[in-house]
Structure 1
Amino acid sequence: MSCKDQEQNELIADVYETSASGNQLTLVTEFEKLDSTSLIKIDPDQKFQTITGFGGAFTESSAYLLNKLSKKNRDTILQAYFSEEGANYSLCRTHMNSCDFSLGQYSYTPTEDKDLKDFSVKEDMDDLIPMIKEASAISKDGFKLFASPWTAPPWMKDNKEWVGGKLLPEHYPTWALFFSKYVDAYKEEGIDLWGFTVENEPLGNGNNWESMHFTPDEMTDFVVNHLGPKLETDGKGDLKILGYDQNREHLSEWVDSQFKNEETSKYFDGTAIHWYASTYEIFADELQNAHSKAPDKLLIQSEACIDAQIPVWKDDAWYWKKEATDWGFTWAPEKDKHLHPKYAPVNRYARDIIGCLNNWVDGWVDWNMVLDTKGGPNWFKNWCIAPVIVDPDKDEVYFTPLYYTMAHFSKFIRPGAEVLGVNKTDDDLMVSASKNTDGSIAIVVFNEGKEAKNFTLSLNNETKNMGIKGQAIQTIVIPSSK
């Protein structure tokens, strides 16, 4: 073979790496040469789901903290999340009424009135709405925004409480009207909604913070007979409605109800899921079943975070170590304890997102974008970690390795991308590949182990020999061949 032939067969690619050794979305051009190598072959003819997007959540807690920072640091954070140069988030969530990551409990309709004449989003005017609008101004391509209620106001519920209870049947139409009014109120502020989840965690949260319970059939009834028709009647039928919105281990019973027949499926555009059932198990069978049940519907990871942990400040190494615990480490029933071992936060994010992409999930949304050094503010003191941690008293910002991990997906895999087939010979490497609408291909490789690895990347009879450090995540970008 001539040198010219070799040059023609060399795959052109840029490699960006984040690693425990210190890389942060660093462009890598040289790779350690090892004795052994494996093969990663991309199959562009094998196509799976179309990507909706990646991103995080606008919460009152995050927005409040941004307001306490200097303009310089506030801008730095928003640019990091929403600019093309940054993570370029494309799918985001927010809460309707208060949630645990609010400063206190509130509703847009505190007064009992079925016509909701006093509906107002004034609670969001100081913090949440300005954060969303600034992010929108920064985002060149824009992002899809969906909203989730944690609970209806207590006066609509059977227990008259913020926590637990059910929506009274007489208020099913009232609650549907609430959604419609929310769309109008946000539109008046210059914010367009893409859709909703019907209820955050309808199975409850252990009666700790804002919640409201639905069974699968109760939620289906509400959507099919009230929410869907109301939005349609009000000219908002193009808004997406996502059912369920809780942990994956119960996913089957919800998709069975939502997509039972043509009538029940009509108003559901898809299903939302969370990851809190395990620190390592992605429940691939549940994801595969959900896709099989409704192959044309969306399947979106709507919330994930390192929960039940106070953030570790400016110590990147901690985020790569298996020292984090979650709620289940302490509180899970004995039969489920094995699902909640200690874990490394970066590993959990990288493994879960790749696992989701390889099992039909088309969107993946992180929880709070910004929290303080205590893991709040949170009125219930339900401390968690966000990719960006701030100390508002000192006006300091810490971009944790979780920020860079998210950016490996959100920055390079854009809405409309198609997930491609991948064949690999090293079971210890996690890999997912997607082809963007501009023809470029983004391949994410995660090496959880501590030893470096070499591999040959193959696409359309072109190859490139490369490698990945131990404890590292890479995004390999192959430009369009057009």
Structure 2
Amino acid sequence: MKLIFNLKMTTLLILALCCLSYCSDVEKEDNGGTTPPPEPPVAGDVTMYITTNTRSQDFKKQTVDFSTKDNMSPTTLKLEPGTRYQTMDGFGAAVTGSTCYNLMQMTQENRTKFLKETFSTTEGMGQSYIRISIGCSDFSLSEYTCCDTPGLENFALTSEETDYVIPILKEILAINPDIKIMGSPWTPPRWMKVNNLTDLQPFNSWTSGQLNPAYYADYADYFVKWIQAFEAQGIKIYSVTPQNEPLNRGNSASLYMTWQEQRDFVKTALGPKMETAGLNTRIYIYDHNYDYDRNKPENADQGQYPLKIYEDAAAAEFITGAAYHNYGGNKEELNFIHQSRPDKELVFTETSIGTWNDGRNLEVRLIDDMREVALGTVNNWCKGVIVWNLMLDTDRGPNRDGGCQTCYGAVDIDRSNYSTITRNSHYYIVGHLSSVVKPGAVRIGTSGFSESGFYYSAFENPDGTYAVVLLNSTSANRMITLDDGSHHFAYEVPAKSVISYRWKK
């Protein structure tokens, strides 16, 4: 009997060992290769999104609960909702003709998936403000305006709008109906251009030239017709700028427009014509660099371009604020402009990554772009942040001769299959803002934690939630506590990472 018992025990032991070995093999198979095990359901008081510059965490959603202990942490960032700054309009990228072309090469399924990831407020980043060109830009399929034949009776949307831009905008609006859209022209119709304001000779070129004062009224009507044509398609235009980069003659499509010219155009034509048409589209002037391109002799008197226009009360009446790019100068100019005219708004409307600034190197660009572009503009009073092309292909196009041949998109799509997408820094920095900071949010004050290499901004959303976007540009993890006066929680912020938080009061 004892022998039989021992044999049974031995058999059971062998079976148990085999089962353990099999289960272990199954676990290795499930967790091996490039397919991670499914993450457990995420639940907690605070929702967070984390991106490290190595992509070890790639916009990863996490949660943490409020602490029930007294807060004694020396690294506490305390929210001060009684200190209030600007109200936010939104964050996004330019939906250029090139972007729309690339999106239209994708399968419907893949395109919808990407657009939801980008614009959905429930299934994605919730990007909320985009910029499009009025006519062509250097990222269009051709040079064109909507009235290339002289006479406004010839105004009409082109195939680039009807086949690419408008269908994509409609798909975006179906996902996020509250998206804001800004329009900016690179050039007026060529028949409205002259070589200079002295000779007033016709200037039949896409590049450079100046707007003939005799056509101010016609060009203002052109804006009105363009806005109305898009609205007829169910696409509301939230804002416009009179000219993209008015001090840059050299783009593939461009127009030189001094502050004196822009003042007169807005005051005598654009503002009154839009008002008469019953349009409430906002006008943001300037739309160019922090340094006013004063390295070019002809721009020597163009410094503080918006402030000089605001001095004319009749012009200022039609103007909501000013728009800026960062291809020259320092973001501190934004603060100077705000302090000079706090009644006028600021928006940031363009920045690029490319071959010149190691644009596809996330280890460098995530940190620099979050500090300078995202948090740097918001903390200097910008209500909105818009980066350049949402999507380019892996050949940095389509693009135009004479325009930027070296730019990357916020994302790049593989031209060989129009399926594989690489997400670059600009996609992440906008997403980290838009995912937790909603249109109508107010930037609020903070106190307490302040260390070199950490940058942040705090907000109160219209629904009463709080949001904080924080950059750790140092090479060390750091435990940081956030405290809103009613709740507090701690989380270890990874080295060289961006983290966005949102929680209910």
Q: Is contact 1:442–1:476 with CA below 8 Å preserved after alignment? A: yes
Cα distance in 2, alignment partners of residues 102 and 353 from structure 1: 26
Query: How has the CA–CA distance of structure 1 residues 437 and 164 changed in structure 2, closer, same or farther, with 3 Å as cutoff?
Result: same
Q: Which residue of the partner structure matches residue 249 of structure 1?
A: 291
Q: Which residue of the partner structure matches residue 142 of structure 2?
A: 104
State the TM-score, normalizing by the size of structure 2: 0.81
* Structure 1 position 89, deviation (Å): 1.6
Q: Which residue of the partner structure matches residue 421 of structure 2?
A: 398
> For residues 266-313 of structure 1, what are the alpha-carbon distances to aligned partners after superposition, in whole Å with 9 as ceiling and x for unaligned?
0011111111116xx42x2x2122212332322100112214559977
Unaligned runs of 5+ in 2: 1-43, 66-72, 195-202, 293-301
Cα distance in 1, alignment partners of residues 226 and 142 from structure 2: 20
Q: Which residue of the partner structure matches residue 217 of structure 1?
A: 260
Q: Which residue of the partner structure matches residue 170 of structure 1?
A: 214
Q: Is contact 2:367–2:496 with CA below 8 Å preserved after alignment? A: no
Return the structure number with greater relative CO, CA threshold 8 A, min gap 6. Answer: 1
* Structure 1 position 106, deviation (Å): 1.0
Q: Which residue of the partner structure matches residue 442 of structure 1?
A: 467
Stretches (4+) displaced over 3 A: 28-31, 307-313
Q: Which residue of the partner structure matches residue 317 of structure 2?
A: 266
Q: Is contact 1:244–1:273 with CA below 8 Å preserved after alignment? A: yes
Q: Is contact 1:198–1:243 with CA below 8 Å preserved after alignment? A: yes
**2:172 is aligned with 1:151:** no
**1:391 maps to amino acid:** D
Cα distance in 1, alignment partners of residues 82 and 359 from structure 2: 44
Matches within 5 A, 1:43-192: 43-84=80-121, 85-113=123-151, 116-123=152-159, 124-139=161-176, 141-158=177-194, 159-192=203-236
Q: Is contact 1:101–1:379 with CA below 8 Å preserved after alignment? A: yes
Cα distance in 1, alignment partners of residues 45 and 83 from structure 2: 21
Q: Is contact 1:198–1:244 with CA below 8 Å preserved after alignment? A: yes
**Secondary structure at the residue paired with 1:136?**
helix
Q: Which residue of the partner structure matches residue 277 of structure 1?
A: 328
* Structure 1 position 258, deviation (Å): 2.3
**2:434 is aligned with 1:410:** yes
Cα distance in 2, alignment partners of residues 352 and 183 from structure 1: 29
State the TM-score, normalizing by the size of structure 1: 0.85
Q: Is contact 2:374–2:429 with CA below 8 Å preserved after alignment? A: no
**2:347 is aligned with 1:303:** no
> For residues 142-191 of structure 1, what are the alpha-carbon distances to aligned partners after superposition, in whole Å with 9 as ceiling and x for unaligned?
21111000011211111321101100111111111100110121122221
Q: Is contact 1:37–1:453 with CA below 8 Å preserved after alignment? A: no
**2:69 is aligned with 1:19:** no
Q: Which residue of the partner structure matches residue 23 of structure 2?
A: none
**1:177 maps to amino acid:** D
* Structure 1 position 346, deviation (Å): 4.6
* Structure 1 position 135, deviation (Å): 0.5
Query: How has the CA–CA distance of structure 1 residues 27 and 170 changed in structure 2, closer, same or farther, with 3 Å as cutoff?
Result: same
RMSD of equivalent CA atoms = 2.2
Greater CA drift, 294-303 or 52-61: 294-303
Cα distance in 1, alignment partners of residues 306 and 431 from structure 2: 30
Q: Is contact 1:68–1:392 with CA below 8 Å preserved after alignment? A: no
Q: Is contact 1:346–1:401 with CA below 8 Å preserved after alignment? A: no
Greater CA drift, 431-440 or 344-353: 344-353
Q: Is contact 1:312–1:373 with CA below 8 Å preserved after alignment? A: no
**1:435 maps to amino acid:** E
Query: How has the CA–CA distance of structure 1 residues 46 and 469 changed in structure 2, closer, same or farther, with 3 Å as cutoff?
Result: same
**1:371 maps to amino acid:** L
**2:51 maps to amino acid:** T
Cα distance in 2, alignment partners of residues 72 and 312 from structure 1: 28
* Structure 1 position 446, deviation (Å): 0.2
Q: Which residue of the partner structure matches residue 15 of structure 2?
A: none
Query: How has the CA–CA distance of structure 1 residues 296 and 456 changed in structure 2, closer, same or farther, with 3 Å as cutoff?
Result: same
> For residues 301-350 of structure 1, what are the alpha-carbon distances to aligned partners after superposition, in whole Å with 9 as ceiling and x for unaligned?
0112214559977xxxx2113xxxxxxxxxxxxxxxxxxxxxx3552244
Query: How has the CA–CA distance of structure 1 residues 312 and 298 changed in structure 2, closer, same or farther, with 3 Å as cutoff?
Result: closer
Q: Is contact 2:102–2:418 with CA below 8 Å preserved after alignment? A: no
Q: Is contact 1:306–1:345 with CA below 8 Å preserved after alignment? A: no
Cα distance in 2, alignment partners of residues 164 and 155 from structure 1: 13
Cα distance in 2, alignment partners of residues 133 and 465 from structure 1: 42
Cα distance in 2, alignment partners of residues 311 and 230 from structure 1: 44
> For residues 57-105 of structure 1, what are the alpha-carbon distances to aligned partners after superposition, in whole Å with 9 as ceiling and x for unaligned?
1111011111111112211221122112112121111001111001111
**1:446 maps to amino acid:** L
1:347 to 368, 387, 401: 368
> For residues 372-391 of structure 1, what are the alpha-carbon distances to aligned partners after superposition, in whole Å with 9 as ceiling and x for unaligned?
00111102262311122112
**Secondary structure at the residue paired with 1:366?**
strand
